[in-house]
């Protein structure tokens, strides 16, 4: 700015100097003076115009310089903020990268341990097969020895002397002791195999959980995208982070994802809307509970729409609903698990492979026959091998032609001829009613405590059949 003012001053001096020309020799003095005066006046007017223009130009240059200084300060401030942001994002990127490497290392370690467990399990299985072979050999030897003893007792064999009988008896005793020792070794090996399998299953769950965490860390937004000034990419990444994780189709899938605590969860079976269920988590897997009786707080003598939609509280007594049970198990290959208890707190468990039809079949229960049913299983399994439709007091679908079993007894159930089981009957506090026609309306399982014994509690749940095959 100082250079500009100096330049303007120099220009004014030059102009003033050129406004007073030297006096020429000769000529009229008065005429020359008048002419010189006119020239000087014109020059001063030009100087004033030029000076005024230069002053305006200097003022404009000063304003421009001040504005440029302000802009430079703003740019410097923004650069400092940007540098701090880049440094912070670099630290965050390094932290995420370190977390990812740590997770990869843990996953690799678990995979190595899984391989070791598989090798140990294979060795144990080979040993178990060897022990089974030895057991079969000992059984054959024992059978031959028993035949010899039987023939001796029947007089078919003539003993050479009195010591032969004692010798055979000693051989039989030694073989029996060897067989018992082999059986104990086999049982011990089978128990070790079972424990190894449980450890292997838990390792698999942990590996899947870590893999899921690694995948989620990879899907996080990159630091470079987050540092954009207009926020467009950052908004897109936020939308990806907020996108919902796929909901599990049943409780066992939740177990495989790492959930081990029993309680209420939300599931979404294939081609179905999400809904809440109670999951009972065990060491083998997750079971989806669809019926619970424990205190009589809920009336189970309901109509068809109620049994179809469900009623009660998931944290107390409830019936999940035929529609939801069918949505979970419609593809088959599921296991029905029934837990019973009496008023002496004795427990019984029934597990049956089953299928459940849809509304067009009246939600028929089909128990898949796998050999002969045990007495405990026969209360439901025997009648349901060809399919039993569900019945309520306003929907008579049982096999009894002259009686509506649901109305004659109580509650809704897969009735055949009214007499084998009904876990949705009336809840009787102990002691039960004295009249038999009242007791038969209670919760009963004929082949466990009898037709007229009202049970204390019952729980029904389902899970993929792979749980039972593992356990």
pLDDT tens column, 417-429: 888 999 999 999 8
Closest by CA position to 361, among listed 384, 344, 338: 384
Q: What is the pTM (predicted TM-score) of this model?
A: 0.52
For residue 252, is pLDDT > 80? yes
Domain locations in the chain as residue ranges: 49-142, 251-464
- Contact in structure between 311 and 298 (CB atoms under 8 Å): yes
> What's the rounded Cα separation, in Å, for the pair 214 and 104?
7
Q: Does domain 251-464 have CATH number 3.40.50.720?
A: no
> What's the rounded Cα separation, in Å, for the pair 279 and 287?
6
Mean pLDDT across the chain: 80
> What's the rounded Cα separation, in Å, for the pair 248 and 328?
11
Q: What is the pLDDT of residues 145-182, one digit of tens each?
A: 767 766 665 654 444 455 555 666 676 677 778 777 77
Predicted confidence at residue 377, as pLDDT, reads 92
Q: What are phi and psi of 319, to 5 degrees?
A: -125, 120
């Amino acid at each position: 700015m100082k250079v500009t003012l100096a330049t303007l001053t120099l220009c004014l001096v030059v102009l003033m100097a050129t406004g007073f020309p030297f006096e020429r020799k000769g000529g009229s003095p008065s005429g020359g003076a008048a002419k010189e005066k006119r020239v000087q006046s014109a020059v001063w007017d030009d100087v004033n115009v030029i000076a005024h223009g230069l002053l305006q130009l200097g003022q404009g240059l000063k304003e421009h310089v001040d504005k440029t200084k302000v802009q430079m300060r703003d740019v410097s401030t923004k650069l400092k903020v940007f540098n701090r942001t880049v440094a912070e994002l670099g630290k965050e990127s390094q932290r995420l990268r370190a977390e990812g490497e740590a997770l990869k290392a843990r996953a690799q370690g678990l995979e190595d341990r899984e391989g070791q467990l598989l090798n140990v399990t294979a060795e144990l299985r080979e040993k178990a097969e060897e022990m089974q072979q030895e057991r079969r050999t000992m059984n054959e030897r024992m059978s031959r020895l028993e035949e010899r003893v039987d023939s001796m007792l029947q007089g078919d064999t003539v003993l050479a002397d009195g010591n032969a009988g004692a010798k055979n008896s000693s051989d039989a005793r030694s073989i029996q002791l060897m067989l018992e020792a082999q059986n104990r070794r086999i049982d011990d090996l089978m128990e070790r195999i079972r424990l190894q399998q449980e450890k292997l299953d838990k390792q698999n769950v942990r590996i899947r959980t870590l893999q899921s965490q690694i995948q989620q860390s990879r899907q996080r937004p990159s630091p470079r995208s987050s540092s954009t000034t207009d926020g467009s990419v950052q908004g897109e990444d936020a939308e990806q982070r907020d996108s919902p994780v796929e909901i599990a189709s049943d409780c066992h899938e939740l177990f495989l994802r790492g959930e081990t605590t029993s309680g209420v969860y939300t599931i979404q079976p294939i081609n179905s809307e999400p809904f809440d269920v109670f999951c009972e988590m065990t060491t083998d897997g997750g079971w989806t509970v669809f019926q619970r009786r424990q205190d009589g707080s809920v009336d189970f003598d309901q109509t068809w729409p109620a049994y179809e939609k469900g009623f009660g509280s998931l944290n107390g007594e409830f019936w999940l609903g035929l529609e939801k049970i069918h949505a979970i198990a419609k593809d088959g290959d599921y296991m029905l698990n029934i837990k019973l208890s009496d008023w002496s707190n004795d427990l019984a468990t029934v597990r049956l492979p089953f299928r459940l039809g849809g509304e067009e079949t009246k939600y028929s229960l089909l128990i898949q026959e796998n050999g002969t049913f045990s007495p405990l299983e026969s209360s439901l399994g025997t009648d349901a091998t060809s399919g039993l439709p569900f019945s309520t007091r306003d929907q008579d679908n049982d096999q009894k032609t002259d009686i509506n079993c649901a109305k004659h007894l109580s509650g809704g159930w897969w009735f055949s001829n009214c007499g084998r089981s009904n876990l949705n009957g009336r809840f009787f506090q102990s002691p039960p009613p004295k009249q038999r026609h009242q007791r038969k309306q209670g919760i009963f399982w004929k082949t466990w405590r009898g037709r007229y014994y009202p049970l204390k509690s019952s729980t029904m749940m389902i899970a993929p059949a792979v749980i039972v095959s593992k356990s």
